[in-house]
């Protein structure tokens, strides 16, 4: 049994085995620049498990009884940085152009349901931002296009006959629980302005809780983006600041899967430092100011 203070030697062969296992399980690729981070987290997990070699740790991870430890290791390797209203220019494009286009197109076809997905949602700020912006866009759309439905009192966030579902998924149960709870500190709320706080949050002590009506629009669930079968029929997918931890081969596979998960004409939003350039020919890039998004290309039959 290893003494808690001692660093156990990690051989190159063990490192390669563990690197490959992590890649195979979740797509995260630790190149030489990030190898140190992986080594550090592996040392911590080895100590927690009180094992004396990384090979034994590897054997544990690939065993039936090691499934829980494998998910704990993956949780320890993820970077969960996020915030409300992250990347303002991109969200302006989403709010003012993309939502407007989708709502008009759906209204013309008599389809009144919207499905969106925050893939790699971390603690939920991205999904709740999507929900707030979509509720606002829907209210404005309904104001301009009255449909004769008498709004019930109190007025619902999503006006009849529209339906909005937002899936927020991640590989870490810890962040999913926090998102589901929907309670945020003053620091986490820094980028949420006054009018959004008033309409979509309740003050609970020194923190802010997402109002029930908004919370009900967002469903948190575990999905590993590495797996083949992912949630289908989405109008919009946000997958921001996730692909940057994958290598190019994994990014290509993921973007192909996203194309299959989107409805015709659906939109994919990736992070500021990410691009689909060179990864796929299934999307057109659109942009307003410095905000970018990708629209799935319609394939005529």
Half-sphere exposure of residue 195: CA atoms within 13 angstroms, side-chain side: 3
Q: Is 120 in the site for ligand SAM (CB under 6 A)?
A: yes
Q: Is 274 in the site for ligand SAM (CB under 6 A)?
A: no
Using CB under 6 A, pick the residue from 6, 35, 79, 290 that binds ligand SAM. Answer: 79
Q: Is 228 in the site for ligand SAM (CB under 6 A)?
A: no
Q: Is 249 in the site for ligand SAM (CB under 6 A)?
A: no
Q: Is 226 in the site for ligand SAM (CB under 6 A)?
A: yes
Q: Is 80 in the site for ligand SAM (CB under 6 A)?
A: yes
Using CB under 6 A, pick the residue from 10, 18, 22, 26 that binds ligand SAM. Answer: 26
Alpha carbons 283 and 237: distance in angstroms, whole number: 13
Alpha carbons 263 and 265: distance in angstroms, whole number: 6
Using CB under 6 A, pick the residue from 134, 172, 251, 295 that binds ligand SAM. Answer: 172
Which region among 6-14, 74-82, 142-150, 284-292 touches ligand SAM (by CB under 6 A)? Answer: 74-82
Q: With respect to ligand SAM, which residue has the nearer C-beta, 164 or 176? A: 176
Q: Is 240 in the site for ligand SAM (CB under 6 A)?
A: yes
Using CB under 6 A, pick the residue from 116, 117, 122, 267 that binds ligand SAM. Answer: 122
Using CB under 6 A, pick the residue from 17, 18, 22, 28 that binds ligand SAM. Answer: 28
Least Å distance, CB 79 to ligand SAM, is: 5
| Sequential DSSP letters for the chain | ---TTPPPP--HHHHHHHHHHHHHHH-B---TTTHHHHHHHHHHHHHHHT-S-HHHHHHHHTSGGGHHHHHHHHHHH------TT-SHHHHHHIIIIIHHHHHHHHHHHT--EEEEEEES-TTTHHHHHHHHHHHHHHHHHHHHS--SPPPPSSPPSS-TT-EEEEEEEES-HHHHHHHHHTEE-TTTTTTS-HHHHHHHEEEETTEEEE-HHHHTTEEEEE--TTSS-----EEEEEE-SSGGGB-HHHHHHHHHHHHHHEEEEEEEEE-TT---TTT-SSEEEEEETTEEEEEEPP---
Least Å distance, CB 1 to ligand SAM, is: 31
Q: Is 90 in the site for ligand SAM (CB under 6 A)?
A: no
Using CB under 6 A, pick the residue from 56, 71, 224, 263 that binds ligand SAM. Answer: 224
Q: Is 175 in the site for ligand SAM (CB under 6 A)?
A: yes
Q: Which residue is nearest to ligand SAM (CB)?
A: 120
Q: Is 270 in the site for ligand SAM (CB under 6 A)?
A: no
Could you list the residues that contact ligand SAM (CB under 6 A)?
26-28, 78-82, 86, 120-122, 126, 170-172, 175, 224-226, 240-242, 271
């Amino acid at each position: 049994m290893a003494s808690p203070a001692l660093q156990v030697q990690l051989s190159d062969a063990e490192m390669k085995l563990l690197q490959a296992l992590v890649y195979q399980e979740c797509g995260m690729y630790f190149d030489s620049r990030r190898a140190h981070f992986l080594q550090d987290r592996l040392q911590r997990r080895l100590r927690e498990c009180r094992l004396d070699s990384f090979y034994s740790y590897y054997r544990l991870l690939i065993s039936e009884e090691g499934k829980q430890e494998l998910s704990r290791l993956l949780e320890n390797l993820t970077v969960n940085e996020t915030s409300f209203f992250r990347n303002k220019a991109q969200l302006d494009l989403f709010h003012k152009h993309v939502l407007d286009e989708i709502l008009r197109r759906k209204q013309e076809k008599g389809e009144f349901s919207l499905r969106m997905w925050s893939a790699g949602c971390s603690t939920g700020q991205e999904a709740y931002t999507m929900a707030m912006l979509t509720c606002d866009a829907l209210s404005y759309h309904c104001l301009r296009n009255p449909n004769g439905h008498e709004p019930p009192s109190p007025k619902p966030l999503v006006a009849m006959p529209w339906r909005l579902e937002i899936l927020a998924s991640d590989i870490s149960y810890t962040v999913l629980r926090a998102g589901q709870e929907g309670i945020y500190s003053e620091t986490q709320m820094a980028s949420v302005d006054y009018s959004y706080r008033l309409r979509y949050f309740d003050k609970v002590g020194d923190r802010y809780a997402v109002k029930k009506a908004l919370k009900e629009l967002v469903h948190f669930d575990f999905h590993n983006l590495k797996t083949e079968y992912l949630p289908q029929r989405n109008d919009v997918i946000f997958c921001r600041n996730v692909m940057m931890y994958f290598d190019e081969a994994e990014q290509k596979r993921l973007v192909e899967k996203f194309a299959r998960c989107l409805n015709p004409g659906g939109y994919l939003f990736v992070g500021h430092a990410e691009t689909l350039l060179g990864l796929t020919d299934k999307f057109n890039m659109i942009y307003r100011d410095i905000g970018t998004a990708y629209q799935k290309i319609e394939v005529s039959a």
